[in-house]
């Protein structure tokens, strides 16, 4: 039966190397190492070794994702795309999604609220653009609808501020061209024609 002949702490001091029958066999995170209570001269069946290795892979993958997930809030789609890029095994993938959700680090509704608040604080956007951005992040239509209904966005003020900050761009055009350029600009920023027409009439 295989036997643990040596246990060495890795340089990061967050994992240990396990040697079986005198040869390095696998690395293991400290949490699982302590929980499993592994010791030198301990005998393990091949099945037990496979289970430990699976725990090790799950912990290693989760720690990578945890760093990604805590830099800023993430949507479920962002996490899933990250796991796919890292070629995480499907069983580990499901384990990570479940664990992140349990830890409340994965919640599309909370993500949507955070995203809208951030965009409005640092770069005010029309609701149509916010809707588009959230769909790109994989947020469901129901969550998007509920999120945007619950937040007050003065699109007329946002559009007006945008035009005032960019007014120099259209100074050289005559009135008709100026109105056309401004309208095109606001369309690209996701504003409705009602807002656009009001801005053009008010300012020009």
**Tens-place pLDDT, residues 38-50:** 999 999 999 999 9
Report pLDDT digits (tens) over 137-195: 999 999 999 999 877 777 788 888 888 877 787 788 888 888 888 888 888 878 888 88
Q: Are residues 11 and 96 in the same domain?
A: yes
* 141 and 161 within one domain: no
Residue 56: which of 88, 33, 84 has the closest Cα? 33
Q: Among 64, 84, 102, which residue terminates a domain?
A: 102
* Cα–Cα distance, 173 to 194 (Å, whole number): 23
8 and 98 housed in the same domain: yes
d(C-alpha 15, C-alpha 30), whole Å? 5
Tens of pLDDT, residue by residue over 65-79, are 998 999 999 999 999
Check: CB of residue 59 under 8 Å from CB of residue 30.
Answer: no
Q: Do 169 and 196 share a structural domain?
A: yes
Looking at residue 204, its pLDDT comes to 52
pLDDT at 102 (0 to 100): 92
Do residues 136 and 171 touch, judged by C-beta distance below 8 A? no
Does an H or E element contain 196, and which? Answer: helix 193-203
Q: Are residues 67 and 15 in the same domain?
A: yes
Helix, strand or coil for residue 88? coil
pTM: 0.69
Written as six digits, the tokens of 163 are 């035009």
Residues 92 and 14 in one domain: yes
Cα 199 to Cα 2, 107, 185, 191, distances in angstroms: 78, 37, 12, 11
Instruction: Give the model's pLDDT for residue 135.
Output: 96
Q: What 3-state class would DSSP assign to 44? A: coil
12 with 98, same domain: the answer is yes
**Tokens for 84?**
């796919």
* 96: CATH: 1.10.10.10
Looking at the fold, whether 98 and 10 belong to one and the same domain comes out as yes
* Final residue of a structural domain among 149, 164, 179: 149
Q: Quick check: 32 and 72 in contact, CB under 8 A?
A: no
Task: Report the number of distinct structural domains present in the chain.
Answer: 3
| CATH code of the domain in which 164 resides | 1.10.10
Does one domain contain both 21 and 64?
Answer: yes
pLDDT at 203 over 80: no
Q: Which domain holds residue 13?
A: 4-102
- Tell me, yes or no, whether 142 and 174 share the same domain: no
96 lies in the same domain as 19 = yes
Q: What is the pLDDT of residues 82-140, one digit of tens each?
A: 998 988 888 888 889 999 999 999 999 999 999 998 988 877 788 888 999 999 999 99
The reply to whether 18 and 53 lie within a common domain is yes
């Amino acid at each position: 039966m295989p036997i643990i002949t040596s246990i060495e702490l890795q340089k990061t001091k967050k994992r240990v190397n396990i040697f079986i029958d005198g040869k390095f066999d696998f690395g293991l995170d400290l949490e699982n190492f302590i929980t499993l209570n592994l010791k030198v001269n301990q005998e393990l069946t091949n099945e037990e070794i496979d289970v430990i290795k699976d725990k090790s892979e799950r912990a290693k993958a989760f720690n990578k994702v945890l760093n990604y997930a805590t830099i800023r809030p993430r949507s479920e789609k962002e996490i899933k795309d990250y796991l796919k890029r890292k070629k995480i095994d499907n069983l580990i993938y499901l384990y990570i999604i479940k664990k992140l959700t349990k830890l409340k680090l994965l919640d599309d509704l909370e993500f949507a609220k955070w995203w809208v608040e951030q965009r409005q604080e640092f770069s005010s956007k029309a609701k149509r653009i916010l809707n588009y951005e959230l769909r790109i992040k994989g947020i469901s239509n129901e969550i998007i609808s509920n999120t945007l209904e619950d937040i007050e966005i003065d699109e007329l003020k946002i559009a007006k501020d945008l035009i005032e900050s960019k007014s120099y761009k259209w100074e050289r055009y005559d009135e008709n061209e100026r109105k056309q350029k401004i309208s095109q600009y606001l369309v690209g920023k996701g504003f409705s024609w009602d807002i656009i027409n009001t801005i053009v009439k008010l300012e020009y």
